[in-house]
């Protein structure tokens, strides 16, 4: 293997996938895989209340805090999964890691539906749930950097944000599916049935979804950018060491972590945490909670393709800045609208999701463009997963706690605004990365 490229020397890959049918397979493969990977995060958020009742024998605040603590466990292990997955993706190729992570997540999610409850085996029930969350965290940590790099390395320079955004569409589609399943279950089943056995159904759905996603991913070839450095003998033999010891790598990891702040709050507060927040803090019934969140996600899915194409035309920074500023301005008033329920509640939720959609349609592409191909997945995974572990996975736990302590239901709004300011300040410091070839 070659020696690491000097910090001062910047070279670029020359290849990308231009065949339309191949690009469609890449977009389908990344979207389908992300759908399966993040399906678990969606249904866990929508099933927080019955999970608390079954594994912690309480669906009040203490039970919810314990349930969100288990949710946070996943994020503790994501950086470790990112390091391991990043090493193998940078050393041996992205495609192999994507197949392995998808299989692992599907099996672990389906297994959660088979777990006995605390009423049956006592303390062993939440411990087994924690074990599965550890496995899912390792899988998710290795998945994200790999799949975004994979999509970005296939994409031509003038369509990169649009093509990478399909991975985001897949992940948010899974959250919408979780909302719909949650809504159907609350409509069809009584509370006793949902808490008794109905909560297991969404977890079992992960297995057939995983089989479909695996079939699609096996049809996609390795990325041209990775093949190019592999054929040139420039694959990093120690990508973790190179990412952490080079000045360029360390700075890019820090930028990655701070740019990802809004992603952490937007993704996990607006989606995974919001259904529980609406039910417990604002006393929405389950149907209204799931329905309101589902409308917000649908608004996001309609916005992402438009703003990603906008980014390919005018640049990444204008879109990131617009989203961050808009989020700071509208989030608090939107939380006030959500309090009113009905049409006003839906409007408030949709506005927040549209503002976040501008950001999420671009951020993953920007992170792909930050790093050279030889250490891209490793460095991307380290920066992104550490940020997400601290500011995303732990957010539902801390927000539930602080709402209980302060009695202020607007705590989530303050948190989202704070992370938007962090992303805004970082965006001002970075160069424009659009319309350029990827670093070699």
Work out whether the CA dihedral 236, 238, 243, 246 comes out positive or negative.
negative
With b for 16 or more beta-carbon neighbours within 10 A and e for fewer, the 289-299 pattern comes to: bbbbbbbbbbb
Are 438 and 152 a contacting pair, CB within 8 Å?
Answer: yes
Contacts 24+ apart (CB under 8 A), 340-344: 341/284, 341/288
DSSP annotation of 439: B
Task: Kindly state the average pLDDT of the residues 146-161.
Answer: 92
Mean pLDDT (the chain, rounded): 87
| Amino acid 90: pLDDT | 95
Segments forming the whole domain that contains residue 47: 24-231+239-429
Q: Number of structural domains, the chain?
A: 1
| Residue 438 covered by a domain | no
Give the pLDDT band of residue 287 (cuts 50, 70, 90).
confident
What does the DSSP 8-state code read for residue 437?
A: P
Task: Please compute the mean of the pLDDT values over residues 349-367 and round it to a whole number.
Answer: 95
Question: What's the CA gap between 133 and 395, in Å, rounded?
Answer: 16
DSSP labels, 302-339: HHHHHHHHHHHHH-HHHHHHHHHHHHHHHHHHHHHHHH
Mean pLDDT of 73-99: 90
CATH, residue 399: 1.20.1250.20
Q: pLDDT value at position 279?
A: 79
Segment 252-272 shows an average pLDDT of 87
pLDDT at 6 over 70: no
Answer whether residue 407 is part of any domain.
yes
Tell me whether residue 194 is in a domain.
Answer: yes
Structure tokens at 95: 């495609």
Instruction: Give the percent of the chain with pLDDT over 90.
Output: 41
pLDDT value at 5 more than 60:
no
d(CA 275, CA 121): 28
Residue 19 lies in a domain: no
The answer on pLDDT for 157 being more than 50 is yes
Tokens read off for 397:
């736990």
pLDDT by residue (tens digit) across 90-129? 999 998 899 998 899 899 999 999 999 998 999 999 999 9
- Give the pair of three-digit tokens for residue 311: 């980014």
pLDDT of residue 4: 46
> Is residue 361 predicted with pLDDT exceeding 50?
yes
pLDDT(8) > 60: no
**51-66 confidence digits (pLDDT tens):** 888 998 776 777 888 8
What pLDDT does residue 1 have? Answer: 44
Domain membership of residue 154 (yes or no) is: yes
Rg of the chain (C-alpha set): 21
pLDDT band at 290 (very low <50, low <70, confident <90, very high): confident
Rounded to whole angstroms, how far apart are CA atoms 203 and 114?
9
Within a domain: residue 339? yes
Tokens of 276: 């529980």
Q: Does 62 fall in a domain?
A: yes
Per-residue pLDDT band for 401 (boundaries 50, 70, 90) equals: confident
Average pLDDT over residues 216-229: 88
Q: Is the pTM of this model over 0.75?
A: yes
Q: Which of 415, 425, 392, 167 is nearest to 317 (CA)?
A: 425
Q: pLDDT higher for 8 or 267?
A: 267
Contact status, residue 180 vs residue 43, Cβ threshold 8 Å: no
Is 17 within the bounds of a domain? no
398 or 148, higher pLDDT: 148
For residue 316, give the nearest of 375, 377, 255 by alpha carbon: 255
pLDDT of the residue at 191: 83
Give first-to-last CA distance, the chain, whole Å: 15
Provide the 10 A C-beta neighbour count for residue 24: 12
Per-residue pLDDT band for 9 (boundaries 50, 70, 90) equals low
């Amino acid at each position: 293997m070659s020696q690491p490229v000097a910090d001062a020397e910047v070279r670029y890959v020359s290849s990308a996938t231009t065949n339309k049918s191949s690009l469609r397979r890449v977009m389908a493969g990344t979207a389908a895989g992300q759908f399966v990977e993040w399906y678990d995060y969606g249904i866990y958020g929508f099933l927080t209340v019955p999970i608390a009742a079954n594994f912690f024998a309480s669906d009040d605040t203490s039970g919810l805090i314990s349930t969100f603590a288990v949710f946070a466990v996943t994020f503790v292990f994501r950086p470790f999964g990112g390091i391991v997955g990043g090493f193998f993706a940078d050393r041996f190729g992205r495609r192999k890691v994507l197949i392995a992570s998808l299989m692992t997540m599907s099996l672990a999610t389906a297994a959660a539906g088979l777990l006995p409850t605390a009423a049956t085996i006592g303390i062993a029930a939440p411990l087994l749930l924690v074990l599965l969350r550890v496995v899912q965290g390792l899988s998710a940590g290795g998945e994200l950097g790999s799949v975004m790099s994979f999509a970005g390395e296939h994409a031509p320079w003038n369509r990169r944000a649009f093509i990478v955004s399909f991975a985001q569409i897949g992940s948010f589609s899974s959250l919408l599916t979780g909302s719909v399943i949650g809504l159907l279950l609350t409509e069809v089943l009584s509370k006793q049935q949902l808490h008794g056995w109905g909560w297991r159904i969404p977890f079992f759905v992960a297995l057939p979804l995983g089989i479909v996603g695996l079939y699609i991913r096996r049809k996609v070839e390795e990325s041209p950018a990775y093949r190019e450095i592999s054929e040139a003998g420039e694959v990093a033999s120690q990508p973790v060491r190179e990412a952490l010891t080079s000045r360029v790598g360390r700075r890019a990891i820090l930028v990655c972590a701070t740019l990802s702040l809004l992603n952490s709050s937007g993704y996990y507060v607006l989606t995974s945490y919001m259904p529980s927040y609406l039910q417990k803090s604002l006393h929405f019934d389950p149907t209204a909670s799931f329905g309101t969140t589902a409308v917000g996600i649908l608004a996001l899915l309609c916005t992402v393709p438009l703003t990603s194409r906008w980014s390919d035309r005018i640049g990444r920074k204008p879109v990131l800045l617009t989203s961050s500023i808009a989020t700071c301005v509208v989030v608090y008033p939107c939380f006030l609208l959500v309090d009113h329920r009905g049409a006003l509640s839906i409007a408030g939720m949709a506005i927040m999701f549209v503002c976040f959609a501008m950001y999420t349609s671009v951020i993953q592409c920007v992170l792909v463009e930050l790093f050279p191909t030889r250490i891209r997945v490793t460095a991307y995974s380290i920066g992104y997963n550490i940020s997400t572990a601290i500011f995303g996975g732990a957010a539902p736990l801390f927000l539930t706690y602080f709402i209980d302590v302060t009695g202020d239901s607007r705590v989530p709004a303050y948190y989202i605004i704070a992370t938007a300011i962090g992303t805004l300040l970082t965006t001002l410091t970075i160069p424009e990365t659009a319309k350029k070839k990827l670093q070699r």
